[in-house]
Amino acid sequence: MRRTPWFERRFLPIDDNGLLPGILERLDGTPARVASLIGMRAPAVAAQSGWSPAQELGHLIDLEPLWLARVHDIVEGRQELTVADLSNRATHEGDHDRWPLDALATRFTTERARLVAALRALTPDDLDRAARHPQLGTPMRAIDLAYFVAEHDDHHLARLRAGNS
Whole-model pTM: value is: 0.90
Residues 120, 116: Cα–Cα separation, whole Å: 6
pLDDT in tens, 108-153: 999 999 999 999 999 999 999 999 999 999 999 999 999 999 999 9
Phi, psi of 132 (to 5 degrees): -75, 130
Residues 32, 2: Cα–Cα separation, whole Å: 26
Instruction: Kindly tell me if the per-residue pLDDT of 87 is higher than 50.
Output: yes
Identify the structural domains of the chain with CATH numbers, from first to last: 21-164 (1.20.120.450)
Instruction: Find, among 82, 146, 75, the residue nearest to 115 by Cα.
Output: 146
Host H or E run for residue 130: strand 130-132
**Which amino acid is located at 12 in the chain?**
L
Residues 78, 93: Cα–Cα separation, whole Å: 30
